[in-house]
Structure 1
Amino acid sequence: MSTAAGAPAAPAGPVGGHYDVVIIGGGPAGLSAGLNLVRARRRVLILDSNRPRHSATLVSHGFVTRDGVSPLELRSLGREEFAGYPDAEFHQGLVSAVTRVEGEEVVFSVTSRGVRGSADRDVTASVVILASGLAETLPALPSMRAYYGTSLHSCIECDGFEKSDGALALIGDTDDLAERALLVSQVTDDLIVFTNGSAAVTAEEEAALARRGIAVERRPIADVVGDRSGLTGVQLDDGTLVPRTGGFVRPHWSVPLDFAASLGLDRDPDGHILVADRGATSVPGVYAIGDLTAPGPQQLIVAAGAGARTAAAVNRHLLGPL
């Protein structure tokens, strides 16, 4: 579009407005919180980049009435349900800053850069709910991404049953690797733990795993290999190919919250937000739910339940004292 003089029109400014609640993150936790809050007749804006951590996963499990559904379909259904209420608004964007604004009444300023043609947002809110999840770093193997979400997974509780009785690998270098191996051993009698040259499994843990028939392979890994059918093995640096048909990896997780740094939220040594029972953080008016608040990713249904519990607390907070 051009002006009358023929010059390009200036882009429209960011869309503003005030909301009872702005929710940052549109996964199961954020959508559940949003749905319950709009049902309480709160004006709610959900901001989400639509880049979920589990986007490589084709099927999710353990969510009652939705067992076997695609995680992306689950999010889509949740957005449709949320958007069906008159006080609900969903916006696709990347949040750049959340700040506390002092005045007669404390509010929060939230700015977001629109993606895929959506407008930027610069809004205020009486309450902010952080539900933006974790970032994960997978083992640095060249072909890891080719099999992640199909042959290889990170959530044993989510995908263990589907790997039943397979020749499985557990790959990682975290200090809970032996404990995770016990969980994988529930679904198979053929499990090898690959520490990729790290000291993740102690000698005592290796001996305990051996008594359960679980092998530990300490040599460095060159890559995971396979074909169109899926994973076929783990290639070691020395050329040894260990046949495997699938398995699990133990990523490293981080909590990307640079956009909320100015709030000064209390966090644990690993960066997770410290919260009370119903999601209240150390900053009044700011709540956090889902993976942000505990080590390791939570199952989808657990995150959704946390969202519902926090929504009840937020609704009561907005009513104020008696």
Structure 2
Amino acid sequence: MYDCIIIGGGPAGLGAGLTLGRARRKVALFDDGTNRNRVTHESHGFITRDGIKPHEFKGIGLKELENYPNVSYFNKTIIEIGREGNEGNFIVRTRDNEEYVSEKLLLATGIQEMFTIESIRSFYGKSLFSCPYCDGWELRDKPLLILAEKEEHVLHMVKLIYNWSNDLMVLTNGKELSHEGMQELAKHNIEIKIEKIDELIGEAGYLKGVKLESGEIINRTQGFVAPTYYRPNYFAEKLGCEIDEKGRVMTDPRCRASQKNVYVAGETRKPIPSSLMIAAADGNKAAVSINTDLTEERF
């Protein structure tokens, strides 16, 4: 019987585990190694850890949790979550058919990317990236591709990335832009290719070029993409948590979901990406809420 089960061992889950461990709570942290940044060579923007490899960051976090014997880490996949009654304890079942019980539940499973061109995955995290705050410095002043299909994504990415490099080429994979959108990019001499993409050329994750359906080869080797994002599991929905029309799990300012004793932290709350630092801070905030609620309920 645990005070809290945390599902997800990214920065939000690790941060929550550390805070709850130091609060002397009995915690079970579950993670199956499917974190979104596992394909990234380096993570940036976390003060004192700028440029750290994601697996190293995670390893340091898990090592720190070893100082707290009341925190247990399980490298297991959760496949089902149930409750004892409508608002009773949570029963968590793993893929190997083991069950764990807790009073509180923190969902910190993060999100995953979807690409309309599946082969982008082969280059993602090595030569194609999604976040200029994370990787823009390394690509500064280089000729870059921007692969985006929706006009709002095209304009957002172009305006943002122009800060790091003004040598940009936009590929929309067959999607037309409005006359106003085309004019806005033309003002900054940004070339746009509307034609559909035939294939991405390269090896070992490093792009050599992009072949269009006409046979034209775009000889650019790095750039940014605009994925869409989704939660890889539906635990929040299955537990009956309120979800808004944009897919955000509705919480109060203290990370409490609409279902009693369910808390949500990090990218799981709203399916958009966040930095390591923001996710870790959100995990800390959720852990303080959990500990405060346990304290008030048991005093």
Q: What is the TM-score of this pair, normalised by structure 2?
A: 0.93
The aligned residue for residue 181 of structure 2 is 205
Please tell me whether residue 265 in structure 1 is matched to residue 241 in structure 2: yes
* CA deviation after TM superposition for structure 1 residue 122, in Å: 0.6
Q: Which runs of 5+ in 2 are unaligned?
A: none
The aligned residue for residue 61 of structure 1 is 44
Give the stretch that moved more between structures: 224-233 or 148-157: 224-233
Whole-Å Cα distance in 1 between the matches of residues 237 and 95 of structure 2?
17
The aligned residue for residue 250 of structure 2 is 274
Please tell me whether residue 22 in structure 1 is matched to residue 11 in structure 2: no
The aligned residue for residue 51 of structure 1 is 34
Greater C-alpha Rg: 1
* CA deviation after TM superposition for structure 1 residue 285, in Å: 0.6
Please tell me whether residue 134 in structure 1 is matched to residue 116 in structure 2: no
Helix, strand or coil at the partner of 2:51: coil
The aligned residue for residue 112 of structure 1 is 94
Q: Please show how residues 139-218 of structure 1 align to structure 2 within 5 Å.
A: 139-142=116-119, 144-174=120-150, 175-199=152-176, 201-218=177-194
Deviation string, structure 1 residues 260-291 (Cα, Å, up to 9, x no partner): 54311111224331222221111121011111
Q: Which runs of 5+ in 1 are unaligned?
A: 1-17, 115-119
The aligned residue for residue 231 of structure 1 is 207
Amino acid at match of 1:305: A
* CA deviation after TM superposition for structure 1 residue 215, in Å: 2.5
Q: What is the TM-score of this pair, normalised by structure 1?
A: 0.87
Deviation string, structure 1 residues 200-248 (Cα, Å, up to 9, x no partner): x433222112223322221111122235793232211111112212001
Whole-Å Cα distance in 2 between the matches of residues 167 and 276 of structure 1?
44
Identity within the alignment, %: 35
8 Å CA contact 1:128–1:286 kept in 2: the answer is yes
Amino acid at match of 1:188: S
Whole-Å Cα distance in 1 between the matches of residues 171 and 178 of structure 2?
13
Q: How many residues get paired?
A: 297
Deviation string, structure 1 residues 88-133 (Cα, Å, up to 9, x no partner): 1000111111122228x7211111124xxxxx43111111000001
Alpha carbons of structure 1 residues 176 and 214: separation in structure 2 relative to 1, 3 Å: same
The one of 80, 105, 108 aligned to 1:97: 80
Whole-Å Cα distance in 1 between the matches of residues 158 and 280 of structure 2?
27
8 Å CA contact 1:141–1:224 kept in 2: the answer is no
The aligned residue for residue 62 of structure 2 is 79
Please tell me whether residue 305 in structure 1 is matched to residue 287 in structure 2: no
Q: What RMSD over aligned residues (CA atoms) do the two structures have, in Å?
A: 1.9
Helix, strand or coil at the partner of 2:254: coil
